[in-house]
Amino acid sequence: MLPTEVLEIAQAELTDWQGSGMSVMEVSHRGKAFVACAAHAEATLRSLMSIPDNYKVLFLQGGASGQFAAIPMNLTGPGDTVAYLNTGQWSAKAIKSAKTQDLAVEVLADEKDSNYSTVPAAGSYTVPVSAAYLHYTANETIGGVEFDYVPETDVPLVSDYSSTILSRPVDISKYGLIYAGAQKNLGPSGLAVVIVREDLTGKARSTTPDIWDYAAMAASDSMLNTPPTFSLYLLGLVLDWVERTGGLAAMGKRNKAKADSLYTTIDNSEFYANPVALNARSWMNIPFTLADPSLDADFLKEAEAQGLTNLAGHRSVGGMRASIYNAMTQDGVDALISFMADFANRRG
């Protein structure tokens, strides 16, 4: 979901961006105006997230999935040990990708016994000192499972923040690298953001293509080739909106209140259930099931008729999932809550 306000700005300037007489998609990415637009997005992200100066911000293509491969290409040599925590489907994909790259992949914790409804407790796993990094998925988008702590480790900490970046403040200095596909909380698809500590760049395997090499991309301000210009432009508008609405501290308060109100509704009902451990509940993605799954189709149909859309759970798990990203308002969540209460009254 994107803020309507942002879409309206984009709409208003679509055919004449900054007096150019054309859209932002038609100007040269090497021109002064677009270079400034990209620099503005980076500066705003740095300021919003308090990114320390010794970190590079990269705007890359290939989505978060591209980073599943690019991270080991950049941070390891053949035969190295890497460590992963497996809390669900996105962790599993990251692990699978690392396994293609001649690495000793150690999965230090795998939450399969809870059907991926938990995060491993802090201190319940030991990170090998020889590991090139420890990777975890800060928020499992499909399972709605989110870490409630930042793992402590002496090796570089790497995290997939695709579905939780910008949802609240985060201490970047605890990480070696965080990355995120843009399409959940940052803007449209087509862009991945990588925030990487400078000393971890410049060590890519010699076989790494330039466009996947962090050092090469950093040296060219992420413009070694043509960037996804519209996505970058819209990212800048979204970041301006986050700033206008009070930054990440205010965003975190709103997101916590939104999530709390929906979890309370689910927990107080006999008709709805959320399977995730209390300490691992996501602020962004809230899966829930109906006591009688044969009513799922009716629930979705009636919800849609009221403008409550995209509530079907991921095709791999079924049930329902409310993704309440930054742009979702408390009013939107309240509309879902009253629909849920009404549906349970009539059909429960």
| Interface positions with ligand PLP (CB under 6 A) | 63-65, 90, 137, 141, 160, 162-163, 181, 184
Residue 3 or 181 having the CB closest to ligand PLP: 181
Catalytic residue among 184, 212, 213, 283: 184
Q: DSSP code of 13? A: T
Q: Which long-range contacts (CB under 8 A, 24 or more apart) does 150-155 make?
A: 150/174, 150/175, 151/85, 151/122, 151/127, 152/122, 153/127, 154/127, 154/129, 155/83, 155/127, 155/128, 155/129, 155/131
The torsion angles phi and psi of 27, rounded to 5 degrees, stand at: -80, 165
Catalytic residue among 17, 90, 212, 283: 90
In whole angstroms, the minimum distance from the beta carbon of 267 to ligand PLP comes to: 25
In whole angstroms, the minimum distance from the beta carbon of 157 to ligand PLP comes to: 16
Rounded CA gap, 326 and 143, in Å? 18
Q: Is 184 a catalytic residue?
A: yes
Q: Is 112 a catalytic residue?
A: no
- Residues facing 159 on adjacent strands: 136, 178
Element (H or E) spanning 95, and its range? helix 89-98
Q: Is 102 a catalytic residue?
A: no
In whole angstroms, the minimum distance from the beta carbon of 147 to ligand PLP comes to: 12
Of 183, 185, 140, 182, the closest CA to residue 159 belongs to 140
Residue 63 or 176 having the CB closest to ligand PLP: 63
In whole angstroms, the minimum distance from the beta carbon of 24 to ligand PLP comes to: 21
Contact between 94 and 229 (Cβ < 8 Å)? no
Residue with the closest Cβ to ligand PLP?
63
Catalytic residue among 80, 99, 112, 160: 160
Residue 186 or 311 having the CB closest to ligand PLP: 186
Residue 3 or 143 having the CB closest to ligand PLP: 143
In whole angstroms, the minimum distance from the beta carbon of 276 to ligand PLP comes to: 15
Q: What amino acid positions are annotated as catalytic residues?
A: 90, 160, 184
